[in-house]
Amino acid sequence: PRPISIPARPRVLALANQKGGVGKTTTAINLGTALAAIGEKVLIIDLDPQGNASTGLGVDRKSRKASTYDVLCGDIGLGMAMQATAVPNLSLAPSTLDLLGVELEIAGAKDRALRLKKAIDELVHDQRCNDLTYILIDCPPSLSLITINAMTAADAVLVPLQCEFFALEGLSQLLKTVEQVRAGLNPRLIIQGVVLTMYDPRNNLSGQVMADVRHFLGDKVYDTVIPRNVRISEAPSYGKPALLYDLRCAGSQAYLKLASEVIKRERTLRAA
Ligand code: ADP
Ligand code: MG
């Protein structure tokens, strides 16, 4: 008899840190692109009303007909919001400014924290989309209901941490939120890792921060460190991931390394 094929669930990683400007969106775009470049099938879900991940992937506001706002409202499925990007194997569910109002709209619903999880579950069972292997969720800079939706839907959280003086500030609050989600909404949630971003080797402080963070968080911190790199910050204004804009720059190379580290950790976690 033919075995019944159960669709493999993609690994769902939420990029979260309630601080703005730490590299969540940059990591979503470039880790997503790097994963796609090495053969994964990737979907980026833009959950930030600012829509920087959407813009950075070249999807301008006019082209965002269906968005994550509609998905969280329950009006459409995630498959309807998905669109292709210029990167092969990388698709995007874009966001719009409407998302600013979504929390009020769904606040009264019993399943308000489960909206994204339900949408992903449905997508995985949709034959047209079930070859996805990774879903990356770009969270807004807050620990709001939107971020709770992301953590509830995720297998793991990936925390970008900027190499600056206050890097660890606010981290305990983030960890507490992960604990709360695990205790209630999503018992399997783990922290896959912490990625240090915008590292500047010419700045002594950057090195000190890196040492402190490794001391506090141990092997949760990825070996790969993302350097501060001007090509990375230029790329979004061309609507391109850094890996398409300049594959050889230090930033793109670091994101490729990070992608293989993420895959390696996923394999170890799944084998455990
Ligand atoms: P977040 O999504 O956490 O708010 P972003 O990814 O938008 O943070 O990054 C904040 C700013 O820093 C952006 O202008 C981005 O281009 C820039 N940036 C992020 N990572 C790097 C890097 N490695 N090198 C240089 N600039 C970076
Ligand atoms: Mg962002």
- The DSSP output letter for 9 is P
Closest residue CA from atom 26 of ligand 1: 233
Spatial separation of the C-alpha atoms in residues 139 and 19, rounded to whole Å: 11
Check if the interface score ipTM surpasses 0.95: yes
What is the per-residue pLDDT for 6? 58
The domains located in the chain, with CATH, are: 11-271 (3.40.50.300)
Q: For 64-81, what is the mean pLDDT? A: 96
Q: Which amino acid is at 240?
A: K
Q: For 59-71, what is the mean pLDDT? A: 94
Ligand 1: residue of 143, 203, 233 to mutate (most ligand atoms within 8 A of CB) is 233
Spatial strand order in the sheet of 83-84: 83-84, 90-93, 42-46, 134-138, 11-15, 156-162, 190-197
26 C-beta closer than 6 A to ligand 1: yes
In DSSP notation, 96-148 reads: -GGGGGHHHHHTT-TTTTTHHHHHHHHHHTSGGGTT--EEEEE--SS-SHHHH
pLDDT tens digits, residue range 201-229? 898 888 898 999 999 999 999 999 999 99
Model confidence at 1, pLDDT cuts 50, 70, 90, reads: low
141 C-beta closer than 6 A to ligand 1: yes
Model confidence at 128, pLDDT cuts 50, 70, 90, reads: low
What is the per-residue pLDDT for 7? 59
Chain centroid, CA 230 distance in Å: 22
Helix axes 115-124, 145-153, angle to 10 degrees: 30
Q: Which amino acid is at 130?
A: N
- Tokens representing residue 261 in the block: 């580290």
pLDDT tens digits, residue range 5-62? 555 789 999 999 999 999 999 999 999 999 999 999 999 999 999 999 999 999 999 9
Q: For 84-107, what is the mean pLDDT? A: 96
Residues 6 or more apart in contact with residue 13 via CB below 8 angstroms: 134, 135, 136, 137, 154, 155, 156, 157, 158, 192, 262
How remote is the CA of residue 104 from the centroid of ligand 1, in Å? 29
Model confidence at 166, pLDDT cuts 50, 70, 90, reads: confident
**Can you tell me which atom of ligand 1 is nearest the CA of 227?**
23
